[in-house]
Amino acid sequence: MDQFTIDHLIRLLRSAGGVADGVELNAGIVDEAYTDLGYDSLALLEMSAKIQQEFGVAIPDEDVTELKTPRQTIDYLNDRMSPI
């Protein structure tokens, strides 16, 4: 695997933070703010821990709060992940 995709992110987001009522997680959320999707800082910290465990990329806590949308997270990770 050499790219972190929206499908990876949705799977981790779902497992880390559940899904808010009235929200459907699909590729259309890529530019939605996490807060608009119902996720708080704990959910994003939980997701970043799962990303590190699975993909080996550590996201410092101060960066977690700067990544506001799925696209920003995906781009951040793909900049840092070495192709396998």
Q: Which residues make up the interface to other proteins (CB under 8 A)?
A: 15-21, 38-39, 42-43, 45-46, 49, 52-53
**Minimum CB–partner distance for residue 50 and other proteins (Å):** 9
Q: Identify each DSSP E strand in the chain by its residue range.
A: none
Nearer to other proteins, 6 or 47 (CB): 47
CA distance 12 to 8: 6
**Minimum CB–partner distance for residue 55 and other proteins (Å):** 13
In degrees, rounded to 5, the angle at the alpha carbon of residue 56 between the alpha carbons of residues 11 and 46 is: 50
Nearer to other proteins, 17 or 70 (CB): 17
